Amino acid sequence: MFLDHKNLRKTLQSFDKTKVLNLVCNRNLHSVCSIFIFTQILKKELFQYQIEFRNMESSINFCFEHNGEEFCLSNEQEPCMPCYCAQKNTVGVDILYSVIKSMNILKIETLWPIAICFSYYKVFANQSIYSSFGVACESANLENIKNTLQGPLAKDRIINSGLADVNVALKDSTCEKCWEMYNSIVFSIKVLNCRSDGVFFVKRNRLEFLLGSSLFQCIKSDLRFIHEKKLFHPKSASSDRKIGEFLAKRGISISAANEAYLGLDSQVKDLCATSFGEYEKFVFKLGT
């Protein structure tokens, strides 16, 4: 029997809570995220459970047996609204999201795995799609990409910006249903209103690993960015000079570029945001 947003809770109510549920989870990211959410439902309903990980068909998230009948959560099931994205690995998590909303279990332990799954398949993957189409370049042809993507995409969500960031990729390559789910996740996280520890929705610079290094080292280590901006040179000194000239044209000095990014003043950080673009992402903070 396949589980969906209509029968999952009713199915659990018919189970004997004195018995242990033996859950079998697939070995992939969306399955681990879905089983983590499902265990929060089981805890709320006071079920005992144990988990075993196996390699199964990729569309299966997890399975369990009860009274000789097998129950599965699959990505082939249709959620409340049909998904038109080429990437459908979030369907199982979407079904569970509908269930936890109806059960009022919107908390850190359930929202974080949803954010991980959605970010990986709908943001990270789409960023790769955009890179292959050349959207990170200023001369990106967004109309051509819109025609390439599958599903009914809203024309008014095509945003023509200079350096396209992950948010643009998400808006332009995600179906209406998943875009609504994304906004719902963001809203649920903001409602939690975490003060120090918890899940947050924050802005980050487009350059990878910038928070843990200097701007100069971050650019030098980003081969994709160096290729895009034609900053590569066989000689390290010449490559460094090209990077320095690139930053100088944007008003960022060499001394500032060699300082730790977290130690820079707000004016230089604003220049970095303007020059390289920003995107919003889910982060989990603990012990801050």
pLDDT-based confidence at 288, cuts 50/70/90?
Answer: low
Q: How far apart are CA 233 and CA 247, in angstroms?
A: 16
Which residues sit opposite 201 in a β-bridge? 282
Q: Up-side HSE of residue 63: CA atoms within 13 Å toward CB?
A: 17
Please tell me the pTM assigned to this model: 0.69
- 210: burial class by Cβ within 10 Å (0-12, 13-18, 19+)? buried
Q: In this predicted structure, what is the pLDDT of residue 50?
A: 94
**279 pLDDT band (50/70/90 cuts)?**
confident
Query: Percent helix, strand, coil in the chain (nearest 5)?
Result: 50, 15, 35
pLDDT at res. 170: 54
173 phi-psi bin (left φ>0, alpha ψ -120 to 50, beta other): alpha
Q: Is 10's pLDDT higher than 70?
A: yes
Q: Which residue has the higher pLDDT, 147 or 269?
A: 269
Q: Quick count: other Cβ atoms within 10 Å of Cβ 64?
A: 20
Beta bridge mates, 52? 24
User: Which amino acid would we find at residue 80?
Assistant: C
Strand 60-66 and strand 69-74: the pairing is antiparallel
- Residues 271 and 36: their CA atoms lie apart, in Å, by 40
Strands in the chain per DSSP E:
20-26, 48-54, 60-66, 69-74, 198-205, 278-285
Confidence of residue 78 (pLDDT cuts 50, 70, 90): low
